[in-house]
Amino acid sequence: MASTPTWPMSGRMPPGSTATAGRRPAAGAWLRTLYRRFWSALEGTGKSRSGSTYYLILGATLALTAIGIMMVLSASSVESIAAGKSPYGDALKQGVFAAIGISTMFVLSRINVVWLKRLAWPAVAGAVVLLALVQVVGAEINGNRNWIDVGGITFQPSEAAKLALALWLATVLARKGKLLGRWQHVLVPAVPMAAVVIILILVGNDLGTAMIIMMIVAAALFFAGVPLYLFGIAGFVAAAGTAVMAVTSSNRMCRITSWWTGQSCADGIDANYQSTNGMYGLASGGWLGVGLGQSRQKYSWIPEAHNDFIFAIIGEELGLVGTVVVLVLFAILGAAIYRVVVAQEDLFHRVLAGTIMVWLLGQATVNMSVVAGLMPVIGVPLPFISYGGSALLMSLCAVGVVLSLAREQMAPAMRPKRTLTFPFLAGRNTSQPKISRKRA
């Protein structure tokens, strides 16, 4: 007589039975499991989030900065020699700004970000004043008036405006908090202040930086939890405004048509010249490149190759391997900052970290897309790598702010030393949390 099955009669067969031997999980379930594992690894849990995040951000940033100094030396030496200058001049300047930026980054990483709230309004006001001052006494380089010359050192206020605006937006949006569900509170004062900064930058004819500022504003509003329908309206207005600016400028229209058709403009100007030679550089690099310092495109084929098109020189000299290394470092930096963002419960912290993440990664994406011919030529530097002291200094300061947030998540035993505080900035506002002076 056959024995009666002993497993629960729930419709599920016991493991190893012949009825389930040939069955496999559905493709949808497998994809969902893979998706969950990916986001779990990206966000990190426990020690993975609190311990490694700080050092991933720090390591990726220092590595990108070192690669930048090395590639600036390689890309700028030829034109410097041709101009009768030292082949090491630009690289030494970049190294000095890197040293200042890294020192400032470590100082900011020890400061509790709560104290930076008090600097938000002075910072954005100072940025607006400097941007206005640029139009009066600023120097014009390659058609853009965005630099102020102080004692032979040029400074770009629009780069400082990025960090100042990110800090100010995080402060204002966090203060409004639950009121952000109403469009009136979304618009005022965030949008008018951002519009002032963008207009001042556009007056200097720098559309690329203005696009990055727009990206920063959109990121701040997104991480603040603004209703999504407002982004649709803002996107339509931004697209219309961009179209108007493009149509009313022959130079911008020439860049767009040259990129779209691959041909010169009606007046014979090839606005896609840099991008075309950048593609030649990437293509000639192959798998391993032609060798560090052996680029051919930097011999005036790509004007000022150490600036916006330095990624093409990386691809030519270090090959596909070199470009992938840069991409991986940016991916590590982005994933680590994303861990900081998702771990934040305070709205100010979340908006500030998320805005800086979008700023750095968005700007890097735009730069590399231009070099690869995926976008029209736009003057946007590659963060940490392109030549430019202002851009490098502000990028490192932004990373220092994120490191401060990441440091707060670390276990006491893993936390680097102690937080710097400034009691004289505290005023009489008792709503801010007290900062411990005890050693970790």
Lowest-confidence pick of 139-153, 164-178, 296-310: 139-153
pLDDT tens, residue by residue, 342-382: 988 899 999 999 999 999 999 999 999 999 888 888 889 99
Confidence of residue 42 (pLDDT cuts 50, 70, 90): low
- Contacts made by residues 153-157, CB under 8 angstroms, sequence distance 24+: 153/389, 154/389, 154/390, 155/389, 155/390, 156/388, 156/390, 156/391, 157/127, 157/130, 157/131, 157/133
pLDDT(90) > 70:
yes
For the beta sheet containing 144-150, the strands, ordered from the edge strand earlier in sequence to the opposite edge, are: 139-141, 144-150, 153-155
CA torsion 344-234-250-255 (nearest 10°) is 40
Angle of CA points 74, 394, 177, to nearest 5°: 145
Confidence of residue 9 (pLDDT cuts 50, 70, 90): very low
Q: What is the pLDDT of residue 437?
A: 39
Alpha-helix runs per DSSP H in 224-309: 229-247, 250-261, 273-285
pLDDT tens, residue by residue, 97-147: 999 999 999 999 998 888 888 899 999 999 999 999 998 887 777 667 888
pLDDT(436) > 70:
no
Beta-carbon contacts of 2 under 8 Å, excluding residues fewer than 6 positions away, are: none
Confidence of residue 433 (pLDDT cuts 50, 70, 90): very low
The residue behind tokens 């607006």 is 128
Q: What are phi and psi of 95, to 5 degrees?
A: -65, -40
Q: What is the pLDDT of residue 97?
A: 95
- Region 260-274 average pLDDT: 67
- Region 52-62 average pLDDT: 94
Please list the residues that pair with 141 across neighbouring strands.
144
Give Rg (Cα) of the chain.
25
Question: What percent of the chain lies above the pLDDT cut of 70?
Answer: 81
The residue behind tokens 């710097």 is 420
The residue behind tokens 């991986």 is 328
pLDDT tens, residue by residue, 191-211: 999 999 999 998 888 888 999
pLDDT, mean over the chain: 83
pLDDT(425) > 50:
no
Confidence of residue 303 (pLDDT cuts 50, 70, 90): confident
DSSP 291-336: -TT--STTTTTSTTTTTTTHHHHHHHHHHHHHHHHHHHHHHHHHHH
Residue 57's nearest CA partner among 398, 413, 414 is 398
Local structure of 419: helix, strand or coil: coil
Q: What is the pLDDT of residue 409?
A: 74
The CA distance from 110 to 118, in Å, is 17
- Region 220-232 average pLDDT: 90
The CA distance from 436 to 440, in Å, is 9
Supply the angle between the helices 310-343 and 273-285 in degrees, to the nearest 10: 90
pLDDT(15) > 90:
no
Confidence of residue 328 (pLDDT cuts 50, 70, 90): very high
Residue 139's nearest CA partner among 156, 160, 159 is 156
pLDDT top residue among 91 and 36: 91
Asked whether 190 and 173 are in contact (CB, 8 A), the reply is yes
Asked whether 377 and 262 are in contact (CB, 8 A), the reply is no
DSSP 350-379: HHHHHHHHHHHHHHHHHHHHHHTTSS----
Angle of CA points 105, 106, 108, to nearest 5°: 65
Residue 369's nearest CA partner among 326, 311, 408, 298 is 311
Q: What is the pLDDT of residue 232?
A: 86
Asked whether 385 and 327 are in contact (CB, 8 A), the reply is no
Residue 378's nearest CA partner among 239, 198, 258, 244 is 258
Q: What is the pLDDT of residue 336?
A: 95
Confidence of residue 44 (pLDDT cuts 50, 70, 90): low
Residue type, position 339, single letter: R
pLDDT(418) > 70:
no
The most confident of the ranges 112-126, 228-242, 387-401 is 387-401
Residue type, position 38, single letter: F
Asked whether 130 and 148 are in contact (CB, 8 A), the reply is yes
The CA distance from 258 to 245, in Å, is 17
- Region 244-253 average pLDDT: 76
Local structure of 64: helix, strand or coil: helix
Strands (E), 142-221: 144-150, 153-155
